[in-house]
Structure 1
């Protein structure tokens, strides 16, 4: 605890989207560091919300589409962590759009402003600031629009811009028919990061507001080709796991936006500074370390569950 300001950690940080992957990671690190955490969720009786309460968080009902509920939940807090789902994120409704994502992010920023929050940490996405230089995937543009609203409000804020998450390879999005299968080109390295490391950096930012307010930081933990990702998972689990690229045209038949996102990743992609991320957070995991610590067990659990339920994984 020597690196943390004890006067700060007695204050309350609100975590929006607390039951999601990032929200849980941020909450876990904040509680570990001695903060009071107010965890916001639309379902306080859900399994993840109950686990947060048992870990020591104050669980409060609020919905990102309801700015009044967010403002009420933020009253009296010092800090606020904001993250919104993107189109296709687990748990979002099929009709959820990029406009909904922007609206939710704007609502959280407005609530933070109304409640007089002293430090907002917003998780955006790497390269969102290249919006004016080139055509970007929809999910990057939506994050940029939220960033711009935060800036327009003059909020004391930190913008974290992580690349794609290692956790994307732990479920049905990528594990299908005994293969690792995505729209990414097999041999083109992709930048990735563990969600837990985003939580660690967010907690660090809250602990050092004098250093972090006003900063915009891109984050990445590794750069690795999909065929290497598949090989590493297969080795960790002791199973054959070939990599198969889904044809872009097959993806385009389902979603033009998702097809373009894959094309962008295959041709331009993220350009975060991995050594700089490690200077900020020396414990940042590469893919093999993440597999050893948590990733392999998550993937094994998904495959076991898929076999048990008869799903084609």
Structure 2
């Protein structure tokens, strides 16, 4: 049986970003102490978390001593990794270093690792396969764990690159506009992670792919239209164009088209009725669109 001391803080990596920030806020709302791990303890995002009650701790994935210090006395860990801004080898090295540091503590009793849907299936998508390597390393450690595989991030439709096109009235998507894909908001990932950490016994050793719903590009564009008041249409971007920017992302969207993700959202939601499964429409309504 997994025993997490609820008085000890949950260490949250990526706390100043979308997933980690959402998880930190969900834990704080549930009354759980949070230790936000970040290299930028003085950043606005870090200061906002501190104002909500989070403890800030400096942590650099390339500095094992800082990871050891940041995790000392934490009862659990929300772990995530990303190759964006670095590279795949760096992601694997940093991700395994974080998990090794957690395993070396006397206090961490559960790790929730966010990966990607289907990342355990040797997809051939570079940034999915790097996450598979980290998942496999976690399974070798003497730590209770849960792996979450989020589907396509709705939050990516409000980032700088997408906003530029939205201001021209277009949602660019490297998929047929009428093909449904499973989507999820960062807030829902955070809510699910907090749920797992509140009920670790039911999730130890489990890997769960998660999504709020299936939506086509047309439906996502309609949700943004309704929320922003700006008419938005969805247009498919050829994979050959995506390839010129990122072979990794082109491989992902090619996989989505040729193989696809498989998440039974109806069964998932029935098994977890207390999680806020934020719809694309609700997510879009919450955004401060400046189009």
Q: What TM-score do you get using the length of structure 2 for normalisation?
A: 0.92
Map of 2:87 onto structure 1:
97
Counterpart check, 1:180 vs 2:175? no
Which of 22, 25, 28 lines up with 2:25 in the alignment?
28
Match of 2:284 among 267, 285, 291: 291
2:218 is the alignment partner of 1:221: no
For 2:11, the equivalent position in structure 1 comes to: 14
Write out per-residue CA displacement over residues 155-194 of structure 1, whole angstroms, 9 at most, x where no aligned residue.
2111111111111111233231331112122111111011
SS in 2 for 1:25: helix
For residues 204-229 of structure 1, give each alpha carbon's deviation from its aligned partner in whole angstroms, at most 9, with x where no partner exists: 11111221211111101111111221
Inter-partner Cα distance in structure 2 for 1:54 and 1:256: 40
- CA offsets, 1:133-152, max 9 Å, x none? xx431111111100000011
Determine whether 1:235 maps to 2:232. Answer: no
State the 1:101 CA deviation: 1.1
Distance 1:288 1:256, change over 3 A: same
Where does 1:1-313 land on structure 2 (aligned, <5 Å)? 8-87=5-84, 92=85, 96-116=86-106, 117-131=108-122, 135-175=123-163, 176=165, 177-282=168-273, 283-292=276-285, 294=286, 297-298=287-288, 300-301=289-290, 303=291
Cα gap change, 1:271 to 1:86, in 2 (>3 Å): farther
1:76 positional shift: 1.2
CA RMSD between the two structures: 1.8
CA distance in structure 2 between the partners assigned to 1:238 and 1:178 by the alignment? 11
Residue pair 1:8, 1:207 contacting (<8 A) in 2 also: no
8 Å CA contact 1:9, 1:34 repeated in 2 = no
SS at match of 1:253: helix
Distance (whole Å) between structure 1 residues aligned to residue 160 and residue 41 of structure 2: 26
Paired with 1:172 and 1:280, the residues of 2 have a C-alpha distance of: 35
SS at match of 2:178: coil
Do the aligned partners of 1:201 and 1:280 also contact (CA within 8 Å) in 2?
A: no
| Equivalences, count | 284
Are 1:16 and 1:82, in contact at CA under 8 Å, matched by a contact in 2? yes
TM-score by length of 1: 0.86
Cα distance in 2 for residues equivalent to 1:77 and 1:255: 37
Corresponding residue SS for 1:161 = strand
| Residues in 2 aligned to 1:27 and 1:140: alpha-carbon distance in whole angstroms | 24
Offset, 1:280: 4.2
Contact 2:83/2:90, CA 8 A, preserved across alignment: no
Q: Is the 8 A contact 1:15 1:81 kept in 2?
A: yes
Unaligned ranges ≥5, structure 2: none
Secondary structure (helix, strand or coil) at the match of 1:191 reads strand
Once residues 254 and 222 of structure 1 are traced to their aligned partners in structure 2, the CA distance between those partners, rounded to angstroms, is: 28
Structure 1 residue 258, shift from structure 2 partner: 2.0
Query: 1:217 is paired with a residue of what secondary structure?
Result: strand
Are the structure 2 counterparts of residues 77 and 61 from structure 1 closer, same or farther at C-alpha, using a change threshold of 3 Å?
same
